[in-house]
Amino acid sequence: MVDSYQPLDHELALDRDCTTLSRHVFQQLQNFGPDAQDLSALMNRIALAGKLVARRLSRAGLMEGVLGFTGEVNVQGETVKKMDVYANEVFISVFKQSGLVCRLASEEMEKPYYIPENCPIGRYTLVYDPIDGSSNIDTNINVGSIFAIRQQQGEDLDDSASDLLQSGRQQIAAGYILYGPSTMLVYSIGKGVHAFTLDPSLGEFILSNENIQTPEHGPIYSVNEGNFWQWDEGIRDYIRYMHRHEGYTARYSGALVGDFHRILFQGGVFLYPGTVKKPEGKLRLLYESAPLAFLAEQAGGRASTGTQDILDVIPEKLHQRTPLIVGSREDVALVESFIQERAREEASVAVKT
Ligand code: P6P
């Protein structure tokens, strides 16, 4: 028995190429029980959806009917891109006949989509934003898909999916797929955050970054400063602080997944605050902010509305929006401190008047 066996380089490379998503789930859970089997299969289906969307995006400019608008407006009141519809249908298709997921709740659908043949068996719900940042698609800039898996609770006999209106701490798994120079799938099942890179030659997502930790602090702040005059004073005070102090740099792509991915790896903060027109913010809670908040906390970071942890917010409706401040612990706290300072000042003025 060789007790200090050193694997050869090609053995290390082969082992790495065999660390697919489904195997990684089992490695984390250290068992092959029914729940582990479910999660492994669920992640495999997510990976398939990512590959189908990535394939279409990679050839969008060469194919008829892929780019541009459908002429429809979705439940969010946003114009729908052809790619939004395609990606939404991809997720539905890969979960049909899977026996895994009973319901899919999507940004693109007013009500959840039920897969009745799966419901007696699959008690999971997939909540997802099939293509986030679709305004970037026609100019070939990165976009993403965001997902979370929740356990269906109760029978949902009236198809109201009211059991989905629970805090993000009920999420079993969450992640995103970033369609960038390479296609990456980043996920967590509550045991750290891990990234897989699609190897087109294999057609597999292969483990590329394990146990990602977001730095306590980073130089990047990511926000659409075009909304400056619509923000509350506390956010404006924070932005003025960014402008007046060295060591900060702005990065903003207009697509949440890419902006979040940068913060996850390099540190700093992404924020989409409420505005005068949209005090609740633009980003959706259930399938955008809560999944990313789950990842942020798993990577040692934080996610806040500005006054409350995102993962503690209990939605009152499926497509509820929320302000989002997410990233390094110190940087999220700095934004919150400006909000709190303004609130104190406004409270003391109110007392005096
Ligand atoms: P704005 C894309 O439409 C999106 O939902 C997110 O991906 C992105 O972070 C945000 O909206 C961009 O919004 O108002 O800066 O264009």
| Measured CA distances, 202 to 17, 48, 197, 317 (Å) | 9, 13, 11, 41
Confidence (pLDDT) at 2: 58
Q: Which fold has domain 17-209?
A: Fructose-1,6-Bisphosphatase; Chain A, domain 1 (3.30.540)
Q: Are 39 and 81 in contact (CB under 8 A)?
A: no
Q: Which atom of ligand 1 is nearest to the CA of 224?
A: 15
**30-39 b/e with 16+ CB inside 10 Å = b?**
eeeeeebbbb
Nearest CA to ligand 1 atom 12: 254
pLDDT tens for 59-72 read 887 877 777 777 78
How many Å lie between the centroid of ligand 1 and the Cα of residue 134? 9
How many Å lie between the centroid of ligand 1 and the Cα of residue 254? 5
H-helix or E-strand containing 55? Answer: helix 34-58
| Measured CA distances, 113 to 42, 145, 172, 236 (Å) | 17, 18, 20, 40
> May I ask the CATH class of domain 220-352?
alpha beta
H-helix or E-strand containing 58? Answer: helix 34-58
How many Å lie between the centroid of ligand 1 and the Cα of residue 154? 34
Nearest CA to ligand 1 atom 14: 224
| Residues with a CB atom less than 6 Å from ligand 1 | 132-133, 135, 224, 254-256, 272, 282-283
What are the domain boundaries of the chain? 17-209, 220-352
pLDDT tens per residue, the chain (353 residues)? Answer: 556 788 788 878 787 778 889 899 999 999 999 999 999 999 999 999 999 999 999 988 787 777 777 778 877 777 778 888 999 999 999 999 888 999 999 998 999 999 988 887 778 999 999 999 988 888 889 999 999 999 988 888 788 889 999 999 999 999 999 999 999 999 999 999 999 999 999 999 999 999 999 999 999 999 999 999 999 999 999 999 999 999 999 999 999 999 999 999 999 999 999 998 888 999 999 999 999 999 999 999 999 999 999 999 999 999 999 999 999 999 999 999 999 999 999 889 888 87
Cα radius of gyration (the chain):
21
DSSP label of 78: P
Confidence (pLDDT) at 1: 52
How many Å lie between the centroid of ligand 1 and the Cα of residue 277? 15
Mark out the alpha helices in 223-319 (DSSP H runs).
Answer: 233-244, 256-266, 290-298
Confidence (pLDDT) at 6: 83
Cα dihedral sign, 45-87-295-214: positive
Confidence (pLDDT) at 114: 93
Confidence (pLDDT) at 139: 87
CB-based burial of residue 12 (10 Å sphere; 0-12 exposed, 13-18 middle, 19+ buried)? exposed
Mark out the alpha helices in 202-282 (DSSP H runs).
Answer: 233-244, 256-266
Token representation of residue 28:
């984390």
Pocket test for ligand 1, best of 272, 276, 286, 321 (most atoms within 8 A of CB): 272
pLDDT tens for 277-295 read 888 999 999 999 999 999 9
Q: Are 142 and 133 in contact (CB under 8 A)?
A: yes
How many Å lie between the centroid of ligand 1 and the Cα of residue 321? 12
